[in-house]
Chain A
Amino acid sequence: MDLVATILVDGLIYAGWLFIVSVGLTLVFGVLNILNIAHGSLYAIGAYASASLVGAYFAAGGDAFPYGSYIAMILAAVLVAVVLGPLLERGLLRYFYGRDEVLNVLVTYAVFLILEDVMKLIWGVNPYFVYEPYTLLGTVEMGSLFYVGYDFAVIAAAIIVGLAVWLTLNRTQTGKVVLAVIHDAEISQTMGVNVKRIYLGAFMAGAFLAALGGALTAPMISVTPGLGVNVVIVAFAVVIIGGLGSVPGAAIGALMVGISRAASVHLLPEAELFIIYFVMAIVLVFRPEGLFAKTQARKI
């Protein structure tokens, strides 16, 4: 029983993190039809920016109000979205709209490569440690195990993010417009929707979410080059499992992957590194377009 509980808790923690990291990717695909490999870079830049801002905050006397570091982290994510979002979307990606999906993957792969080195040039190759925010929420005792309070906060953040995205899409005017664009950008445009603005907005939202994932992760790890490389494919797997463009799908995918990985870590450690891709392959065998794929209209 203890083991099951442990797996569930570990799985939930990992799922929460996965969801935050993946939801931006699926959102960007849903709206812009681009599978953004640079999502991994945005995550990493978010981590670096968070580390820098939190470091600066504490250096400037933030110890007086340590929870302010959380604000710094969120601010870091916002900055990344505001700076890189328009730069990437308006500056590059918009020239490729409507082109082949795989071609766009290659374009974002190129951006990913570029940003990997840009990060090295800005932040150097030495690791950054900013662990203070991780320790602020104490520990939680569950049965015989101790968990860090921060990990549960990540779950809470994931739920908040999920609700926020869902509510925005389904309950606000802007959200409904975005859903219309997801369905058919051309028709939306003929109905007066400023599709360009929606694209930019959606991309910035995706960038923010990616960076937020990185920002929230920074206190848990040492931030080093190559961070994005491992994260982006994990996010891919989650998004593919859930169905490209589906936010609930990303949540389900995150849960499936989170629990599978936790189970693997405790029960079959040899599989830990690849269990996620295994799950993805299995899902694709039964549901070739992911769990919540859009229905296709007849072609002929």
Chain B
Amino acid sequence: MSSGVLEVRDVQKTFGAVTAAKDISVSVPQGSIYSLIGTNGAGKTTFVNMVTGYIKPDAGTINFGGRNIAGLPPRQITRLGIHRSFQIAQLCNELTVEENMLVAGAIHGQTRPSFLRRSDDAQARDRAMATLERFNIAEHRNRLIPELSGGVKKLLDIAMAMAGETQIMLLDEPTSGVAADEKFPIMDLVINALRDEGVTVIFVEHDMDIVNRYSERVLAFYDGQIIADDTPDVVLSDAEVQRYVTGAPA
């Protein structure tokens, strides 16, 4: 097995009687774009949660940058360069869009967050606005979160996750809750922005059009196991995958 930027080996996880992960092994090369597919409860989100530190695997290793990160807390894994976005956008509802971005920037700033330096000084704002502009949501900078559309919330969620050095980005259902006509534009924006930075992308998706169009490789999950690990064409025409995941020929 060639050495990828992220090496998951024999990871196991059960919750009582439920097997959420069994013999999960995958090697993700630097700069590639992976998608994870599978029905609800198949283990995709558990995978993401284990890689990003929300859940600790029962066994197995997750190697990144030469060390095993399995079991580390999310904030340490984030600092190492593995970032994630969320299925339901996790934003600070009482802050404006710009302030949300400022928080991300403050945590990932050049130095530790300061007790004295203003959170909204010129430099911080410029940095925040640059990211907001990259994601096309700068016009919403002064709005509060509850006023935003699903698509904008998702973009902000991802934009915030971009703060700091991002080497691997895990996107948890980036287009769920987004209007149909916004899905492709949002994915175009996000994947291009990530590609420009050389970020390795792993996204969870239910929409096979999105999977087909944007991923270089697909991991199909079923019942806690990976039942296919190949290019989209191969995976989506696989009989088992069709039976347990997509339900119809691609």
| Partner-B contacts on A (CB < 8 A) | 300
A-B contact pairs, 8 of them (CB 8 A): A300-B45, A300-B49, A300-B54, A300-B86, A300-B87, A300-B88, A300-B90, A300-B172
Closest residue of chain A to B54 (Cβ to Cβ) is: A300
Please report the C-alpha to C-alpha distance between residue A300 and residue B49 in the assembled complex, in whole angstroms.
9
Size class of B's contact patch?
Answer: under 10
- CB neighbours (8 Å) of A300 from chain B are 45, 49, 54, 86-88, 90, 172
Give the 3 A-B CB pairs with smallest separation, nearest first. Answer: A300-B86, A300-B54, A300-B87
Interface of B is mostly: loop
Interface of A is mostly: loop
Please report the C-alpha to C-alpha distance between residue A219 and residue B87 in the assembled complex, in whole angstroms.
60
- CB neighbours (8 Å) of B90 from chain A are 300
Please report the C-alpha to C-alpha distance between residue A287 and residue B88 in the assembled complex, in whole angstroms.
29
What 5 additional pairs, Cβ within 8 angstroms, besides A300-B54, A300-B88, A300-B90? A300-B45, A300-B49, A300-B86, A300-B87, A300-B172
Min CB distance, A297 to chain B, in Å? 11
Report B36-90 residues with CB < 8 Å from chain A CB: 45, 49, 54, 86-88, 90
Please report the C-alpha to C-alpha distance between residue A300 and residue B86 in the assembled complex, in whole angstroms.
8
Please report the C-alpha to C-alpha distance between residue A300 and residue B172 in the assembled complex, in whole angstroms.
10
Please report the C-alpha to C-alpha distance between residue A180 and residue B127 in the assembled complex, in whole angstroms.
50
- CB neighbours (8 Å) of B45 from chain A are 300
Min CB distance, A255 to chain B, in Å? 30
Min CB distance, B43 to chain A, in Å? 13
**Cβ proximity bits B223-250 to A, threshold 8 Å, 1 near / 0 not:** 0000000000000000000000000000
Please report the C-alpha to C-alpha distance between residue A300 and residue B87 in the assembled complex, in whole angstroms.
8
Closest residue of chain A to B52 (Cβ to Cβ) is: A300
**Cβ proximity bits B82-110 to A, threshold 8 Å, 1 near / 0 not:** 00001110100000000000000000000
Min CB distance, B60 to chain A, in Å? 20
Please report the C-alpha to C-alpha distance between residue A300 and residue B88 in the assembled complex, in whole angstroms.
8
- CB neighbours (8 Å) of B54 from chain A are 300
Please report the C-alpha to C-alpha distance between residue A300 and residue B54 in the assembled complex, in whole angstroms.
9
Closest residue of chain B to A300 (Cβ to Cβ) is: B86
Min CB distance, A27 to chain B, in Å? 29
Closest residue of chain A to B90 (Cβ to Cβ) is: A300
- CB neighbours (8 Å) of B49 from chain A are 300
Min CB distance, A295 to chain B, in Å? 11
Min CB distance, B188 to chain A, in Å? 26
- CB neighbours (8 Å) of B172 from chain A are 300
Min CB distance, A173 to chain B, in Å? 31
Please report the C-alpha to C-alpha distance between residue A279 and residue B88 in the assembled complex, in whole angstroms.
40
- CB neighbours (8 Å) of B88 from chain A are 300
Min CB distance, B17 to chain A, in Å? 15
Min CB distance, A102 to chain B, in Å? 16
Min CB distance, A160 to chain B, in Å? 37
- CB neighbours (8 Å) of B86 from chain A are 300
Min CB distance, B176 to chain A, in Å? 13
Min CB distance, B216 to chain A, in Å? 26
Closest residue of chain A to B87 (Cβ to Cβ) is: A300
Min CB distance, B123 to chain A, in Å? 32
Report B132-156 residues with CB < 8 Å from chain A CB: none
Closest residue of chain A to B15 (Cβ to Cβ) is: A298
Min CB distance, A110 to chain B, in Å? 24
Closest residue of chain A to B172 (Cβ to Cβ) is: A300
- CB neighbours (8 Å) of B87 from chain A are 300
Please report the C-alpha to C-alpha distance between residue A135 and residue B54 in the assembled complex, in whole angstroms.
61
Min CB distance, B49 to chain A, in Å? 7
